[in-house]
Amino acid sequence: MTERLQKNVTLPHGVGLAVSTIIGSGLLGLPGLAIGQAGAYTALAGWALTLLLSVPLMLIFMRLTRLVQDAGGLARYAALAFGPAFGSAASLLIAATFALCIPAGTTMGAAYLQEIFHLPAWTVLPIVLGLLGISTLVNIAGAKPSRVVNTVAVLALVLLILAFVALNLPSVARGAAAVAEVAQGAVPIPLAGLWSASALLFWAFLGWENLSFGSEEYQDQPGFVSRVFLLGFVVVGVLYAALALVSTGAALSGKAIGGVTGLLRLVDGQPLRPVIVALIAVVVVANVNAWVFAASRLYFAAGRNGDLPAFLGRLDRRGIPVASLLLLFVLYAALAAAIAFEALPLVTALTVANQNFILLYAGAIATFVAVDKSASGRVIAAASAASCVFLLSGFGAWLAVPVLIGAIGYLKHRLAHRAAAPERAAS
């Protein structure tokens, strides 16, 4: 009998997962990185453009998730639209990408915690392993602890952004003035800089595909999926807009906020700094927890479908994919160590993960076109395709990495199917 996950995800839990998945290490690290890379005005334009580019992609995953609620997510959609070999290709690529992006994102969050608590640089790796270990244990414990973590995280996110805004009102005003300057064309925005900022900031909007991996556990209610996606997008958009204003205004006011931990300089010397530190810690833990949740469901579905070893497709007596959670922790630990010892530089890991996700989004667009024939679907697909073309345009030779991984998954399925055919004929 095929094992199925239990429908434990309520609407607050679903929205909490959405917000916690999208906002996390990106919230903390990307504003300073984007400003350092492209300048304050170009980074501000990049935030606006990336938010717009993410709208049609979010809508595609919302519609696909409404159509098929399965833990396989995008891989399952690709299999239904183009056949199981393409589903296997997508499954292997997603599995590899998640194994890479989760330790990379956690490293950014750990760098914040290391600086917050004035710890030596070597403690970043133990912090990463601790965060990933805690999140793995929370998910093994079941749906209720995970639900509590993500619900608390949404409140922490709102309070954290409010604190940044309240403590930096002059910067908010300067950021609002910068919006007007950019909109009026008063400052030049170089296309190359806009691309580099947008390609980097796209990391801040990754995660809509994660909601599809948890969709098998969504409650059976009319409009449930749409409410999860749309409410999550509104919360994410408002919080990021506030953060973009604060960070841009601060940079234009002469504050040095470049780098992964640049936002911390906005609260140096403030009485509320201990509270903000606590909120940041909650946000980091919740973001890691949400990604670990999604990845474990993906690996469970891949094991259940035969794309990964079969033991990953088993649930314990409570309906938890424990084998997937434990194997993933081993993969996270190995890649986190590679990043910490610079065998795999963090920027390279983020770049490869970003382009893999964008290529997967291109596959999601093709799948969407195959299953949604409506006029509105065509408009959404065209807008999404334009987004992907723009974002993929600067990656170059790195694109060979996801193409090769997908090809391995495709050929693996075809060879296994070919080998199984004579056995079926003989029987």
How far is it, in rounded angstroms, from Cα 218 to Cα 278? 30
* pLDDT per residue as tens digits for the range 302-332: 888 888 888 988 888 888 889 999 999 999 9
Percent of all residues in the chain with a pLDDT value above 70, rounded to a whole number:
84
* pLDDT per residue as tens digits for the range 18-64: 776 677 656 666 787 788 778 888 988 988 888 888 888 888 888 88
What is the predicted pLDDT for the residue at 213?
63
Q: What is the dihedral of CA 191, 196, 197, 201, to 10 degrees?
A: 140
Q: Tell me the pTM.
A: 0.72
β-strand partners of 218: 9
How far is it, in rounded angstroms, from Cα 333 to Cα 348? 17
What is the predicted pLDDT for the residue at 75?
73
Q: What is the dihedral of CA 42, 24, 167, 243, to 10 degrees?
A: 30
* pLDDT per residue as tens digits for the range 143-163: 666 667 667 777 777 788 888
User: For residue 421, is pLDDT > 60?
Assistant: no
pLDDT range class, residue 395, cuts 50, 70, 90: low
Q: What does the DSSP assignment read for 5-39?
A: ----B-HHHHHHHHHHHHSSHHHHHHHHHHHHHH-
User: For residue 71, is pLDDT > 70?
Assistant: no
Contacts of 120 (CB under 8 A, 6+ apart): 114
Question: What are the E-state strand segments in 240-308?
Answer: none
Contacts of 301 (CB under 8 A, 6+ apart): 70, 71, 72, 73, 75, 76, 91, 213, 216, 313
As a whole number, mean pLDDT of residues 350-357 equals 78
- Helix, strand, coil % in the chain, rounded to nearest 5: 80, 0, 20
What is the predicted pLDDT for the residue at 327?
93
Asked whether 51 and 237 are in contact (CB, 8 A), the reply is yes
Residue, of 40 and 334, whose pLDDT is higher: 334
What is the predicted pLDDT for the residue at 393?
67
Asked whether 24 and 207 are in contact (CB, 8 A), the reply is no
pLDDT range class, residue 1, cuts 50, 70, 90: very low
Please state, rounded to an integer, the average pLDDT across all residues of the chain: 80
Nearest to 54 by CA among 254, 211, 206: 206
CA 162 to chain centre: 23
* pLDDT per residue as tens digits for the range 402-411: 778 878 878 8
- Other Cβ atoms within 10 Å of 236 Cβ, number: 24
How far is it, in rounded angstroms, from Cα 251 to Cα 32? 9
- What's the alpha-carbon Rg for the chain, to the nearest Å? 21
Asked whether 401 and 378 are in contact (CB, 8 A), the reply is no
What is the predicted pLDDT for the residue at 319?
82
Contacts of 313 (CB under 8 A, 6+ apart): 3, 300, 301, 302, 303, 304, 305
User: For residue 73, is pLDDT > 90?
Assistant: no
As a whole number, mean pLDDT of residues 127-133 equals 93
Nearest to 284 by CA among 163, 159, 157: 157
Encoded tokens for 218? 């969504």
Which range, of 194-198, 342-346, 379-383, 421-425, averages the lowest pLDDT?
A: 421-425
What is the predicted pLDDT for the residue at 4?
58
Distances (CA, A) of 204 to 31, 69, 92: 9, 25, 23
What is the predicted pLDDT for the residue at 337?
94
Three-state DSSP state, 320? coil
* pLDDT per residue as tens digits for the range 259-310: 656 677 777 777 777 787 788 777 778 778 878 888 888 898 888 888 888 8
User: For residue 374, is pLDDT > 90?
Assistant: no
What is the predicted pLDDT for the residue at 336?
93
* pLDDT per residue as tens digits for the range 113-129: 887 788 898 999 999 99
What is the predicted pLDDT for the residue at 61?
83
Asked whether 91 and 240 are in contact (CB, 8 A), the reply is no
How far is it, in rounded angstroms, from Cα 142 to Cα 165? 36
- What's at 418, amino acid-wise? R
What is the tally of helices (H) and strands (E) in the chain?
A: 16, 0
Q: Is 185 left (phi over 0), alpha (psi -120 to 50) or beta?
A: left
- What's at 64, amino acid-wise? L
Nearest to 214 by CA among 364, 2, 10, 1: 10
Residue, of 393 and 45, whose pLDDT is higher: 45
Residue, of 77 and 241, whose pLDDT is higher: 241
How far is it, in rounded angstroms, from Cα 310 to Cα 32? 43
What is the predicted pLDDT for the residue at 6?
60
Encoded tokens for 30? 């990307």
As a whole number, mean pLDDT of residues 69-85 equals 72
Encoded tokens for 215? 């969709």
What is the predicted pLDDT for the residue at 171?
87
What is the predicted pLDDT for the residue at 130?
93
Q: How many residues does the chain have?
A: 427
Domains in the chain (CATH in brackets) are 11-420 (1.20.1740.10)
